[in-house]
Structure 1
Amino acid sequence: MRAHAGAIIVLVAAILSLLVTISSPYVRAFDDVRVYFFGDAAGSDEAINQFRLGIWGFCQRIISNGNWVCENTGLAYSYGVQGANGNQQWIGSSWTRGLVMSAVATGFLVITTIVAFTKHHIIAALLSWWSGLVTFIFMAINLALYLKVRAQMRHLGTIEDTDFGPGFWMSLAVLILTLIGGFVLLIEHRRSRTGADTGTSYRYASNGGFFSRFRK
Structure 2
Amino acid sequence: MARAFCIPGVLFLAAALVLSFLTSISLPYLPAIDIARTHFGTQVIQSEQQAFTDIRFGVWAPCYYDEKEDRTCFKAAHGYKISISNQEKTANVIIGSSWTQGLAVHPVAAGVTFIAFLMSFSQHVTVTLAASLTSFLAAFITLIAFAIDIALFAYLKHQVNKLPDVNGNTTAGAGFWMTLASFILLLLAGCTVCFGRRRERMSGATSYPALSSEKKSFWSRFRRN
2:12 match: 9
String of CA shifts for 1:38-67, please: whole Å, max 9, x gaps: 21211333321101001110111023x431
Distance 1:26 1:191 in 2: 44
String of CA shifts for 1:184-216, please: whole Å, max 9, x gaps: 111110122223334445899xxxx844xxxxx
The Cα shift of 1:103 comes to: 0.9
The Cα shift of 1:7 comes to: 1.9
The Cα shift of 1:125 comes to: 1.3
Q: Quick check: which one's strand share is greater?
A: 1
Aligned-residue CA RMSD (Å)? 2.0
Are the equivalent residues in 2 in contact too, given 1:84–1:156 (CA < 8 A)?
Answer: no
1:153 match: 160
1:115 match: 119
Distance 2:69 2:147 in 1: 33
1:101 match: 105
Question: Which amino acid letter does the alignment assign opposite residue 182 of structure 2?
Answer: V
1:179 match: 187
Question: Which amino acid letter does the alignment assign opposite residue 28 of structure 2?
Answer: P
Distance 2:50 2:98 in 1: 25
Structure 2: runs of 5 or more not aligned? 213-222
1:130 aligns with 2:137: yes
Question: Which amino acid letter does the alignment assign opposite residue 95 of structure 2?
Answer: I
Q: Secondary structure at the match of 2:87?
A: coil
Question: What are the equivalent positions in structure 2 for 1:59-70 lying under 5 Å apart?
Answer: 59-63=63-67, 65-70=68-73
Q: Secondary structure at the match of 1:154?
A: helix
Are the equivalent residues in 2 in contact too, given 1:128–1:179 (CA < 8 A)?
Answer: yes
2:215 match: none
Normalised to the residue count of structure 1, the TM-score between the two structures is 0.88
Normalised to the residue count of structure 2, the TM-score between the two structures is 0.85
Question: What are the equivalent positions in structure 2 for 1:36-55 lying under 5 Å apart?
Answer: 36-38=39-41, 39-55=43-59
String of CA shifts for 1:80-129, please: whole Å, max 9, x gaps: 22111311221111110001111111111001111111133221111111
